[in-house]
Structure 1
Amino acid sequence: MGTYHSTRSRQQAVSARAAVRTGLAPDGGLFVSDELGSTKLDVATLAEKSYRELAVEVMGLLLPDYTSDEIAACVDEAYGDTFDADEITPVVPLAPRTGEAPDTPSYVLELFHGPTSAFKDVALQMLPRLMARTADEGAAGERIMIVTATSGDTGKAALAGFADAPGCAITVFYPEGKVSRVQELQMSAQEGSNVAVCGVRGNFDDAQSAVKLIFSDRALAERLGARGTVLSSANSINVGRLVPQVVYYFAAYAQLLRSGVITAGDAVEFCVPTGNFGDILAGYYARELGLPVARLLVASDKNNVLFDFLKTGTYDRRRPFYTTTSPSMDILISSNLERMLYHLSGGDCELVAGLMASLAETGSYTVPSALIERIRGVFDGGWADEDEVSAAIRDCWERYGYVIDPHTACGYHVLDALEPAPDARARVLLSTASPYKFPRAVASALGLEVPDDDFACMDTLAEATGTQAPRQLAELASKPVRFTDVAEIDELGAYVEQAAERFA
């Protein structure tokens, strides 16, 4: 994977470092490499390797102009003492309390053992370290302003990763009133001298679209550049966010190998709750690097634009937007789908550019029939409405004695509704967040009393299930709120510029 270029054009090739530093391609496309899949990992050796060793190997393939020593240092810094599980992302069996286990066993890949109790930590503890090693791509003394829109979890994970990071500042926008109370407190109480947090009057798609416009605003870039500031992103549009997520698919496979559930070469099916398509795209990248993936299941909530796309070949965001108990999936414009379209179309930049132009101008696009068939050869999926999410949380607890959050519940529902792929020897459900980030929704689904206060609700949930709230979430109750700003969509560019002036 030597150079990267935009999904919409090959006119400008850049290094992996430059792609990480820049975040978004100049034409609004996402950075991709045409060498994806040219080198495969030997799955027979995975069982022998720790998470950190796998991270060095996988990331070294995808970011080749970082030296192996640099990657190893980033891995040590990111995962040295920031996660509360030795495996970083442990695999846990879903063992029935009663009755026989199914022929194809199911497992949960717990991605919430990092500092903010969400899967975004795996990548966002890594991205600042990768970014810090891109100074040679910028001018002397240049400062990076990270600008990120969040549907709930990315914001806090990015803030935690970039807080007080040398040479960086970060501004996070979230949809006001459309994230959980715990998620909002995690962001508004964030410590650090280089962070800014602002609510947005609108939904996540509004905020994400506004942030993309900020990146394409050349006049703003020139004004910031005159002050020594350049913009970059911590969203999954940044390849530096995507690459670290590829690792935990290999780590899950390695754990299944060590447990004797599978042997090297056996196919595994992965079910991924996703809105922006980054988490599941990482599974596709793992597949291209040689991981035996039987099928990738896209799990959506009531905002089921991805499900409809897989079934019809038409992506249409012109539909009602629903605020659900799984806010990190309340998305109608799925940015990372663009990378998947590029790869599965055989690298057809002209096609991708046309599809993205149609989405921007009309709100929809339809892919050629041959392309949607190739997509269906890799991806399938389903979706869960709010009643089904609650039922999934309850069923998982009653059947397996395992507590899941609403996002994971969408995946649980889809996994339960679909038969295993014929060649799948095991099924893995990616659990994207601790249930304690959404205590009210989980307690309600379990039929528990739901106190008005989220932290009292955490206590209720802990007592009823014999589990424990992560320390970093429980401690939020006593943390002072630092940020109360709220802005209109058309004010976000000015907000970033003001933040840059404060941090300069």
Structure 2
Amino acid sequence: MYYVSTRDKLRKTPVAGAIAYGLAPDGGLYTPEAIPTLAGNALNTLKSMTYQQRAVYLMSMYLDSYSASELAGFCSRAYGPEKFDDARVAPVRTVDETTYALELWHGPTCAFKDLALQMLPYLLTAALQKEGERKTACILVATSGDTGKGALEGFKDVAGTRILVFYPKDGVSAIQELQMNTQEGANVGVCSVVGNFDDAQTGVKRIFSDPELREELAQRGFFLSSANSINWGRVLPQIVYYVSAYCDLMRDGVLEKGDKLNVCVPTGNFGNILAAYYAKQMGVPLGRLICASNQNNVLTDFIQTGTYDRNRPFYNTISPSMDILISSNLERLLHAFTCGDAPQVRDYMDRLSAEGRYQVSGEVKKKLDREFAAAFCDDAQAKRAIAKVWNEKHYLIDPHTAVAMDALEQYRAKTGDATPTLVVSTASPFKFGPAVMEALGVAEPIRGLESIRQLSDLTGVAAPAPLASLAGKQIRFSGTVEKDHMADKVREMLK
């Protein structure tokens, strides 16, 4: 299978090249030429498998240059009991008779990024060998909170790699910041950026597109790669958990094969809900894909109007991993909805860069309306959702999951759609303890590490071990850089 750039379908590479180098040289995102489809009995076959076995089965459909034995070894190590505290890896929890939570926070950093970022280092290092690449991969990451820690944990001390994470100063939770700045590993670096996530993400993209810097690093034995969801090796493992969740609901008798299942996803960079779209294209009977946004509701407006416009106020919210105005993975959906019309996609992206906005064609808008719905909520609504789900269902959720719960309630009230719905629960509530406790009525919650203990005492819910173990860890990183000097930080790390 070949992978093509979203901005030039004649620019092709085998999957190893797409994963090794992350971003196409023209700035586009590598995407499969065609999405493979599941055989007629595949879901029944997958139903009886473990998560690891499902991952091998599904990823092998996209990774034709990787052997089944390679993938089996990768999945065993990435999703084993030493990494995930639940043998099911991505368990589905019943919230009520039509609502199910896909818990994606049982990994080492307690956020959904673990499902991809525990796998990506294996895929990447194997890709480097297949490509004959002898230089050291410098992994650059811009994070709105969870990707950074997930990538650091996944790549720590991985031979042939260095990793540098940029996050927005004052734009992540205290626990997220502590997780990153205490990261162990000889090959890791962390730096905050004065600005918001979009500033950090734009800075990383600028570094990737700087030919002089690439040549300078190449002469010093390095090349740039990415662990952000612009890398196909990040998106692919996310497809697995949507297929797996459907199979779990079949196995448990909630669904019969062929029954529709809606999906509601809290998302800022669009990668998580894009993976659900790909799962549907493979043949999983998913219904409406509901995009849930916080107050930075650029995606909700886009899906409802067909106009993407980042020219709006930026809000720091209690769901910081969604505080994004430039949703990079939307480019892959545009590629799909324009049938691979690279000039059209390139025009949209050029307009976004130059004017901050673009309007899709009528045909693309029809496809959006057919596949997606969208809603958003502010912090006050998210807190009410946390309280409601806890008080009525005795289920504790974080602010990002709360955004999805509120969006689902809005969607059902508007449409009357009673289809069973999978809500994607993207992070442990203990990563955002103060906001959760405020939602539960604590007027002045403790900040920082002590919030983990306070939330556990308040609810009787045990905190995940990776978060509880943060106490006493040494701060290793405290640097801050202006957004225009991020390249200098890369040079400094790679001395």
TM-score higher than 0.5: yes
Q: Work out the CA distance in 2 between the residues paired with 1:209 and 1:452.
A: 34
Equivalent residue, structure 1, for 2:141: 148
Superposition deviation, residue 265 in structure 1:
1.0
Equivalent residue, structure 2, for 1:36: 35
Equivalent residue, structure 2, for 1:219: 212
Q: Does 1:3 align with 2:6?
A: no
Structure 1's 423 and 129: CA in aligned 2 closer, same or farther, altered over 3 A?
same
Equivalent residue, structure 2, for 1:378: 371
The equivalent position to 2:410 in structure 1, one of 407, 417, 423, is 417
Q: Work out the CA distance in 1 between the residues paired with 2:69 and 2:375.
A: 42
CA contact (8 A) 2:151 2:227 kept: yes
Equivalent residue, structure 2, for 1:344: 337
Equivalent residue, structure 1, for 2:191: 198
Q: Does 1:396 align with 2:395?
A: no
Equivalent residue, structure 2, for 1:24: 23
Q: Work out the CA distance in 2 between the residues paired with 1:227 and 1:137.
A: 22
CA contact (8 A) 1:47 1:258 kept: yes
TM-score, normalised on structure 2?
0.97
Q: Work out the CA distance in 1 between the residues paired with 2:172 and 2:212.
A: 32
Superposition deviation, residue 192 in structure 1:
0.4
Q: Does 1:89 align with 2:90?
A: yes
Equivalent residue, structure 2, for 1:129: 122
CA contact (8 A) 2:386 2:397 kept: yes
User: Partner of 1:415: helix, strand, or coil?
Assistant: helix
User: Partner of 1:89: helix, strand, or coil?
Assistant: coil
Q: Does 1:387 align with 2:380?
A: yes
1:457-476 mapped onto 2 (5 Å cutoff): 457-476=451-470
Q: Work out the CA distance in 2 between the residues paired with 1:460 and 1:481.
A: 22
Q: Work out the CA distance in 2 between the residues paired with 1:40 and 1:153.
A: 35
Q: Work out the CA distance in 1 between the residues paired with 2:464 and 2:44.
A: 35
Equivalent residue, structure 1, for 2:111: 118
Superposition deviation, residue 449 in structure 1:
4.8
CA contact (8 A) 1:280 1:298 kept: yes
CA contact (8 A) 2:36 2:62 kept: no
Q: Work out the CA distance in 1 between the residues paired with 2:140 and 2:493.
A: 10
Superposition deviation, residue 47 in structure 1:
1.5
1:36-75 mapped onto 2 (5 Å cutoff): 36-38=35-37, 40=39, 42-75=42-75
Q: Work out the CA distance in 2 between the residues paired with 1:425 and 1:409.
A: 19
Q: Work out the CA distance in 2 between the residues paired with 1:297 and 1:65.
A: 34
Q: Work out the CA distance in 2 between the residues paired with 1:206 and 1:317.
A: 13
Q: Comparing 153-162 with 32-41, which one deviates more in the overlay?
A: 32-41
Q: Work out the CA distance in 2 between the residues paired with 1:475 and 1:49.
A: 32
Equivalent residue, structure 2, for 1:98: none
Structure 1's 194 and 115: CA in aligned 2 closer, same or farther, altered over 3 A?
same
1:312-461 mapped onto 2 (5 Å cutoff): 312-419=305-412, 425-461=419-455
User: Partner of 2:60: helix, strand, or coil?
Assistant: helix
CA contact (8 A) 2:306 2:360 kept: yes
1:486-497 mapped onto 2 (5 Å cutoff): 486-497=480-491
Q: Work out the CA distance in 2 between the residues paired with 1:385 and 1:135.
A: 43
Superposition deviation, residue 398 in structure 1:
0.8
| One-letter code aligned to 2:410 | A
User: Partner of 1:66: helix, strand, or coil?
Assistant: coil
Q: CA RMSD in A?
A: 1.4
Equivalent residue, structure 2, for 1:166: 159
CA contact (8 A) 1:294 1:423 kept: no
Q: Work out the CA distance in 1 between the residues paired with 2:37 and 2:275.
A: 16
User: Partner of 1:463: helix, strand, or coil?
Assistant: helix
User: Partner of 1:108: helix, strand, or coil?
Assistant: strand
Q: Work out the CA distance in 2 between the residues paired with 1:157 and 1:7.
A: 26
| One-letter code aligned to 1:24 | L
Q: Comparing 461-470 with 402-411, which one deviates more in the overlay?
A: 461-470
User: Partner of 2:284: helix, strand, or coil?
Assistant: coil
Q: Work out the CA distance in 2 between the residues paired with 1:174 and 1:424.
A: 39
Equivalent residue, structure 1, for 2:14: 15
| One-letter code aligned to 2:230 | I
Superposition deviation, residue 311 in structure 1:
1.1
User: Partner of 1:294: helix, strand, or coil?
Assistant: strand
CA deviations over 1:381-424 (Å, ceiling 9, x no partner): 10011110110101110110011100000000011111297887
CA contact (8 A) 1:271 1:411 kept: yes
Superposition deviation, residue 499 in structure 1:
1.0
Superposition deviation, residue 11 in structure 1:
2.6
Q: Comparing 131-140 with 302-311, which one deviates more in the overlay?
A: 131-140
Superposition deviation, residue 93 in structure 1:
0.4
CA deviations over 1:271-305 (Å, ceiling 9, x no partner): 00000000000001101111000111000000000
Q: Work out the CA distance in 2 between the residues paired with 1:279 and 1:135.
A: 26
CA contact (8 A) 1:40 1:289 kept: no
Q: Work out the CA distance in 2 between the residues paired with 1:18 and 1:274.
A: 27
Q: Comparing 335-344 with 472-481, which one deviates more in the overlay?
A: 472-481
TM-score, normalised on structure 1?
0.95
Residue-pair matches, total = 492
Percent identity reads 46
CA contact (8 A) 1:294 1:424 kept: no
Q: Does 1:498 align with 2:488?
A: no
1:88-107 mapped onto 2 (5 Å cutoff): 88-95=89-96, 101=97, 105-107=98-100
